[in-house]
Structure 1
Amino acid sequence: MERRKFLKGAALGAGATALATPALAQGAKQLTIVSTWPRDFPGLGISAQRLAARIAELSDGAFNVEYFAAGERVGAFDVFDEVASGNSQAYVAADYYWVGKHPGFAYFTSVPFGMTTVEWNAWIKYRGGQALWDELAGEFGLKTIPCGATGTQAGGWFNKEIESPDDFRGLKMRIPGLGGQVISKMGGSTVSLPGGQIYENLVSGAVDATEWVGPYNDYFMKFYEAAQYYYTGGMHEPGGGLGFGMNRAWYDGLSDWEKAVIEAACLEEHANSYEEAQALNGEYLQRLIDEQGVQVRNFNDDVWDGFGEASAEVFEEVRDHSALAKKIDDAFQANLREIGNMMAQFEITFVNQRNRVLGLG
């Protein structure tokens, strides 16, 4: 393919400079990608496969790309160590799965009361977020960049209505990241299960509730067979960014052109996955209601206040973890306030008034 033309018009209007096309080296570089999602998994899994195929296509033979879904090479939650060790070259995952290694990883997926996808993109690309991600990932021998987004995620699937913060006491819920720590602060019992194991645990009663993504992704998971109450707009993942994590030594050995190919493919899929979800969520929410009788609910203000109080405790613990955790939280919160305030005055003001005038929502 014409590489100059591709790079000049690279995804997301990144303003990429046209690069000279290098002669292909003798033999392609191996790029083994491992994922946290099963093969052909609706939404997230298909997005990861699409990304792997796109890198292979755009590299025009420079990379020998092999893709392994969860369980095909290593387990879903083993991909971090697999890539950090150099056994594979890259993973596709939500980095908040790694909060047990460092709580700072949560900020590079989503955190309670955090940034929407649009706000998070601005922070990562233009306000120093990527540099902090590099600093954190570098401590583990990794280099990670955005490669997917879900938009604001649903509050979750429950087998009972949630009418007060006390309803979380004793509740067994699948919810990873700092959001899971918030539910624990509220008296719940939380676990972080790979996507392919959620349904069986919900149906068996091993968990009472689960969060996943949003209507489009959730429709195919059939959670409604065990939990009929579906809560919109969760506090835990207002953005839901995904990461393409590469072995740092391998990445450092790439040419500028090879790095540009990977970055362009990742940015393209980052946009595609977000736009796909926004295009389909409304349709699939209605299908959940009409076809499966799902009861859609919103958390009330008392529940949201309970989330807020518990979140404040969680963030204090994150900041106490290490100097780097505090540095990440300081930067994140400062940018959230600046970017979020601008969003509130312009976009949110417009959306609220548009919906009022047109009778939407």
Structure 2
Amino acid sequence: MTGTVSRRRALAAAGAALAAPLASPALAKGLAEWKMVTSWPKNLPGPGLSAERLAQSIARLTDGRLTVKVYAAGELVPALECFDAVSGGTAEMAHTAAIYWQGKMPAAPLFTTAPFGLTPLEHMIWIDQAGGQALWEKLYRPFGVQPYMGGNTGFSMAGWFRREVNGLEDLKGLRIRVVGLGGEIYRRLGATPVSLPTGEVLPALQAGVVDAAEVLAPYSDLAFGYHRVTKTYYGPGFNKPNGTGEAIVSIKALEALPADLRDLVAVACRQEHANALTLAEWNNASSLEVLKSTHGIGVKPMPADILAAAARHGEDLLGDIAARDAVSREVVDSYRATRLRTGGWLRITQGSFLDARQG
């Protein structure tokens, strides 16, 4: 089973579910109840709320025949063990991010983001139109896991720094909380990357365990309160230009469902991805205004020499990943090809248009 659902079949299943009369007493009891583990604190603005909405959407679309109980990070399994939980059968489903599975699969982080990689729209194009979904499934299938795009936190910021960085020299020895491929970029720039679950970042920043922290974007950052520790906020988030969250499902659990419920799980994930992305970009814009007007936070531009060096290291890193194994090369080649094609179009259209609109 590839897990790929035709759009026509999925939409037909969704329409049937929405138009169906009240479920029969037998179906009202539900055919299955799944456990969804997550990598997020409960109701974390952005991904935590996305997980809750997804569970509710699955129950609604299936008319209660499939229900999903959501577990926050640490309630059933630790934040960074969600993939193993689904693969091993502890949970049928997880809401997490592919950025965390680099140790298992070198190319996995690309299905969340890569330094100087695809923007949210470009990423969706890759997954939906340019072969990304098939490659994602090929990567995860040996673990018995089916992936879907299941949320998006939008473009990230470079993060919160306890002291200003004015150039490459200021990164030497700097301890920065960063996950995914961005951690390796910072290491190559001379910093010390520190991997921490999202819920542990604020106390680490407060205690000086880390000198800087890159997490997500203004919506989540404001909710966590990083502005109470430091006023030094940098952008752009060159290491995370996209924030695709994944809904991963046990293939065994998926195959145990009737075909229409399998389709509706995919429909729910697609709906949540689109919904989460629009919410993220709206809330990020609004939260940035609050940070500026209420808390006196101004976004500082990351110095040009850091961006230039990071871009060079980013390309080298993609090459290193491609050299690891045949599937990784397929993923990297596909990712690069999509970026090349869409990037040229976006520079002609959005880039020049936004410059003109700003005057």
Note the alpha carbon deviations across 1:237-265, whole angstroms, 9 max, x for none. Answer: 11110100011222233333112211111
- Show the 5 A alignment for 1:174-185: 174-185=177-188
Q: Shift of the alpha carbon at 1:291?
A: 2.1
Q: Shift of the alpha carbon at 1:349?
A: 2.3
In the alignment of these two chains, the number of paired residues is 343
Counterpart residue number, 1:18? 12
Counterpart residue number, 2:209? 206
Note the alpha carbon deviations across 1:41-95, whole angstroms, 9 max, x for none. Answer: 2222111111111111211121132111111111111111111001210100011
SS in 1 for 2:118: coil
Q: Is the 8 Å Cα contact of residues 58 and 67 (structure 2) preserved in structure 1? A: no
- Counterpart CA distance in 2 for 1:226 and 1:295 is 14
- Counterpart CA distance in 1 for 2:322 and 2:203 is 36
Q: Shift of the alpha carbon at 1:27?
A: 4.9
Note the alpha carbon deviations across 1:178-206, whole angstroms, 9 max, x for none. Answer: 01110011111112211111001110011
- Show the 5 A alignment for 1:141-290: 141-290=144-293
Deviates more, 1:328-337 or 1:277-286: 277-286
SS in 1 for 2:224: coil
TM-score (norm 1): 0.91
Letter paired with 2:241? P
- Counterpart CA distance in 2 for 1:330 and 1:353 is 33
SS in 2 for 1:343: helix
- Counterpart CA distance in 2 for 1:90 and 1:41 is 18
Percent of residue pairs bearing the same amino acid type: 32
Deviates more, 1:260-269 or 1:195-204: 260-269
Deviates more, 1:341-350 or 1:67-76: 341-350
- Counterpart CA distance in 2 for 1:17 and 1:175 is 38
Counterpart residue number, 1:83? 86
Counterpart residue number, 1:57? 60
Counterpart residue number, 1:349? 352
- Counterpart CA distance in 1 for 2:165 and 2:267 is 42
1:127 aligns with 2:130: yes
1:38 aligns with 2:41: yes
Counterpart residue number, 1:317? 320
SS in 1 for 2:12: coil
- Counterpart CA distance in 2 for 1:286 and 1:233 is 16
Q: Shift of the alpha carbon at 1:322?
A: 1.1
Q: What is the alpha-carbon root mean square deviation over aligned residues?
A: 1.7
Q: Is the 8 Å Cα contact of residues 55 and 67 (structure 2) preserved in structure 1? A: no
1:338 aligns with 2:337: no
Counterpart residue number, 1:102? 105
Q: Is the 8 Å Cα contact of residues 173 and 190 (structure 1) preserved in structure 2? A: yes
Q: Is the 8 Å Cα contact of residues 157 and 223 (structure 1) preserved in structure 2? A: yes
Letter paired with 2:273? H
SS in 1 for 2:302: coil
Counterpart residue number, 1:6? none
- Counterpart CA distance in 2 for 1:250 and 1:220 is 35
Letter paired with 2:174? L
- Counterpart CA distance in 2 for 1:31 and 1:82 is 13
Note the alpha carbon deviations across 1:10-48, whole angstroms, 9 max, x for none. Answer: xxxx65542466987685123111000111222221111
- Counterpart CA distance in 1 for 2:316 and 2:333 is 15
Q: Is the 8 Å Cα contact of residues 209 and 227 (structure 1) preserved in structure 2? A: no
TM-score (norm 2): 0.91
SS in 2 for 1:297: strand
Note the alpha carbon deviations across 1:259-279, whole angstroms, 9 max, x for none. Answer: 221111111111111111211
Counterpart residue number, 2:3? none
- Counterpart CA distance in 2 for 1:153 and 1:191 is 18
Question: Do the aligned partners of residues 27 and 312 (structure 1) sit closer, same or farther apart at CA in structure 2, a change above 3 Å counting?
Answer: closer
- Counterpart CA distance in 2 for 1:27 and 1:146 is 25
Letter paired with 1:199? L
SS in 2 for 1:102: coil
- Counterpart CA distance in 2 for 1:85 and 1:112 is 31
Q: Is the 8 Å Cα contact of residues 44 and 220 (structure 2) preserved in structure 1? A: no
- Counterpart CA distance in 2 for 1:170 and 1:295 is 25
- Counterpart CA distance in 1 for 2:338 and 2:284 is 28
Counterpart residue number, 1:359? none
What 5-or-longer segments of structure 2 have no aligned partner? 1-6
Q: Is the 8 Å Cα contact of residues 151 and 274 (structure 1) preserved in structure 2? A: yes
- Counterpart CA distance in 2 for 1:17 and 1:165 is 50
Letter paired with 1:109? T
